[in-house]
Structure 1
Amino acid sequence: MHLTIHQSINIHMLKVGSVSNSSVLQIGSAGSIQASAKLYNTGEYTELAEPISPEGAETPLVPLIGPTS
Protein backbone atom coordinates (compact mmCIF):
# COMPACT_ATOMS: atom_id res chain seq x y z
CA MET A 1 0.00 0.00 0.00
CA HIS A 2 1.38 3.42 -0.98
CA LEU A 3 0.18 6.55 0.87
CA THR A 4 0.90 10.14 -0.09
CA ILE A 5 0.13 12.78 2.53
CA HIS A 6 -0.01 16.48 1.73
CA GLN A 7 -0.08 18.79 4.73
CA SER A 8 -0.47 22.55 5.00
CA ILE A 9 -0.06 24.32 8.35
CA ASN A 10 -0.86 27.97 9.03
CA ILE A 11 0.22 29.27 12.43
CA HIS A 12 -1.24 32.61 13.43
CA MET A 13 0.00 32.58 17.01
CA LEU A 14 2.33 30.17 18.80
CA LYS A 15 2.68 30.27 22.58
CA VAL A 16 5.43 28.20 24.19
CA GLY A 17 4.95 27.62 27.92
CA SER A 18 8.52 26.68 28.77
CA VAL A 19 11.80 25.69 27.17
CA SER A 20 14.45 23.44 28.63
CA ASN A 21 17.62 21.75 27.41
CA SER A 22 15.65 18.74 26.18
CA SER A 23 12.54 20.46 24.81
CA VAL A 24 10.96 19.23 21.58
CA LEU A 25 8.54 21.37 19.59
CA GLN A 26 6.93 19.51 16.73
CA ILE A 27 4.59 21.06 14.21
CA GLY A 28 3.17 18.64 11.69
CA SER A 29 3.97 14.97 11.41
CA ALA A 30 7.23 13.08 11.32
CA GLY A 31 8.15 9.43 11.06
CA SER A 32 10.39 9.67 14.10
CA ILE A 33 12.06 12.24 16.30
CA GLN A 34 15.65 11.65 17.36
CA ALA A 35 16.66 13.22 20.66
CA SER A 36 19.57 15.62 20.49
CA ALA A 37 21.09 17.80 23.20
CA LYS A 38 24.12 19.90 22.35
CA LEU A 39 25.99 22.43 24.46
CA TYR A 40 28.41 24.76 22.71
CA ASN A 41 31.02 27.11 24.13
CA THR A 42 31.18 29.35 21.07
CA GLY A 43 33.09 32.09 22.89
CA GLU A 44 35.77 29.64 24.08
CA TYR A 45 35.29 30.84 27.67
CA THR A 46 37.43 29.20 30.34
CA GLU A 47 35.80 30.57 33.50
CA LEU A 48 32.36 31.59 34.75
CA ALA A 49 30.94 35.04 34.07
CA GLU A 50 30.80 37.56 36.91
CA PRO A 51 27.45 37.59 38.73
CA ILE A 52 25.29 40.64 38.08
CA SER A 53 22.46 42.30 39.94
CA PRO A 54 19.74 44.42 38.35
CA GLU A 55 20.27 48.12 39.01
CA GLY A 56 17.36 49.56 40.97
CA ALA A 57 15.05 46.62 40.30
CA GLU A 58 14.00 44.19 43.01
CA THR A 59 12.26 41.77 40.65
CA PRO A 60 13.53 40.42 37.33
CA LEU A 61 12.61 42.40 34.24
CA VAL A 62 11.24 39.16 32.75
CA PRO A 63 9.30 36.99 35.20
CA LEU A 64 10.85 33.53 35.33
CA ILE A 65 9.72 30.37 37.03
CA GLY A 66 12.10 28.31 39.10
CA PRO A 67 13.42 24.93 37.96
CA THR A 68 11.18 21.93 38.53
CA SER A 69 12.43 18.57 39.62
Structure 2
Amino acid sequence: MNFFVHQNIVIHNLKIDGITNSSVCQIGSAGMIKPLSQMYNTGGFTEPAPPAGPLPETSSEEFIPLVPLVSPSR
Protein backbone atom coordinates (compact mmCIF):
# COMPACT_ATOMS: atom_id res chain seq x y z
CA MET A 1 0.00 0.00 0.00
CA ASN A 2 1.36 3.44 -0.93
CA PHE A 3 0.86 6.58 1.15
CA PHE A 4 1.48 10.00 -0.32
CA VAL A 5 1.98 12.89 2.08
CA HIS A 6 1.70 16.44 0.74
CA GLN A 7 2.74 19.06 3.27
CA ASN A 8 2.41 22.80 3.33
CA ILE A 9 4.29 24.21 6.32
CA VAL A 10 4.44 27.94 7.08
CA ILE A 11 6.64 29.09 9.94
CA HIS A 12 6.25 32.70 11.01
CA ASN A 13 8.56 32.60 14.01
CA LEU A 14 10.93 29.92 15.26
CA LYS A 15 12.92 30.44 18.46
CA ILE A 16 15.59 27.95 19.45
CA ASP A 17 16.94 28.53 22.95
CA GLY A 18 19.90 26.16 22.79
CA ILE A 19 21.91 23.94 20.47
CA THR A 20 24.10 21.01 21.45
CA ASN A 21 26.14 18.54 19.43
CA SER A 22 23.22 16.11 19.30
CA SER A 23 20.33 18.55 18.74
CA VAL A 24 17.52 17.68 16.35
CA CYS A 25 15.00 20.20 15.04
CA GLN A 26 12.30 18.46 13.02
CA ILE A 27 9.61 20.30 11.07
CA GLY A 28 7.15 18.05 9.28
CA SER A 29 7.04 14.29 9.16
CA ALA A 30 9.77 11.76 8.66
CA GLY A 31 9.67 8.00 8.50
CA MET A 32 12.70 7.58 10.73
CA ILE A 33 15.43 9.83 12.09
CA LYS A 34 18.78 8.13 12.58
CA PRO A 35 20.89 10.13 15.04
CA LEU A 36 24.45 10.85 14.00
CA SER A 37 26.97 13.07 15.75
CA GLN A 38 30.45 13.60 14.36
CA MET A 39 33.16 15.87 15.74
CA TYR A 40 36.28 16.63 13.76
CA ASN A 41 39.47 18.50 14.62
CA THR A 42 40.03 19.90 11.14
CA GLY A 43 42.55 22.49 12.35
CA GLY A 44 44.86 19.97 13.99
CA PHE A 45 44.57 21.68 17.39
CA THR A 46 46.24 19.93 20.32
CA GLU A 47 45.16 22.09 23.29
CA PRO A 48 42.13 24.15 24.37
CA ALA A 49 41.61 27.62 22.91
CA PRO A 50 42.83 30.58 24.96
CA PRO A 51 40.20 32.53 26.93
CA ALA A 52 38.31 35.22 25.03
CA GLY A 53 39.51 38.78 25.44
CA PRO A 54 37.46 41.90 26.14
CA LEU A 55 34.95 43.19 23.60
CA PRO A 56 36.14 46.00 21.31
CA GLU A 57 35.49 49.51 22.60
CA THR A 58 32.99 51.75 20.80
CA SER A 59 33.33 55.49 20.40
CA SER A 60 29.72 56.19 21.41
CA GLU A 61 27.41 55.17 24.24
CA GLU A 62 25.10 53.42 21.74
CA PHE A 63 25.08 49.63 21.87
CA ILE A 64 26.23 48.11 18.59
CA PRO A 65 25.65 44.35 18.31
CA LEU A 66 28.39 42.13 16.92
CA VAL A 67 25.81 40.46 14.64
CA PRO A 68 23.61 42.70 12.44
CA LEU A 69 20.01 42.42 13.64
CA VAL A 70 16.72 43.57 12.11
CA SER A 71 14.34 45.79 14.06
CA PRO A 72 11.59 43.80 15.82
CA SER A 73 8.14 44.17 14.29
CA ARG A 74 5.18 45.10 16.47
The two structures have a TM-score, normalised by structure 2, of 0.62
Residue 44 of structure 2 is matched in structure 1 by 44
Give the number of the structure whose alpha-carbon radius of gyration is greater: 2
Instruction: Give me the whole-angstrom Cα distance separating, in 2, the residues matched to 1:28 and 1:3.
Output: 15
Provide structure 2 residue ranges, at least 5 long, that are not aligned to the other structure: 56-74
Instruction: Give me the whole-angstrom Cα distance separating, in 2, the residues matched to 1:37 and 1:3.
Output: 31
Provide structure 1 residue ranges, at least 5 long, that are not aligned to the other structure: 56-69
Instruction: Give me the whole-angstrom Cα distance separating, in 2, the residues matched to 1:9 and 1:15.
Output: 16
1:7-57 deviation digits (Å, cap 9, x = unpaired): 1212221111211121110011000000111111121212221123435xx
Alignment pair present for 1:33 and 2:2: no
The count of corresponding residues between Structure 1 and Structure 2 is: 57
Structure 1 runs of 4+ aligned residues shifted over 4 Å read none
- Percent identical pairs in the alignment equals 51
Instruction: Give me the whole-angstrom Cα distance separating, in 2, the residues matched to 1:21 and 1:28.
Output: 22
RMSD over aligned CA atoms reads 2.1
SS in 2 for 1:23: coil
Instruction: Give me the whole-angstrom Cα distance separating, in 2, the residues matched to 1:15 and 1:46.
Output: 35
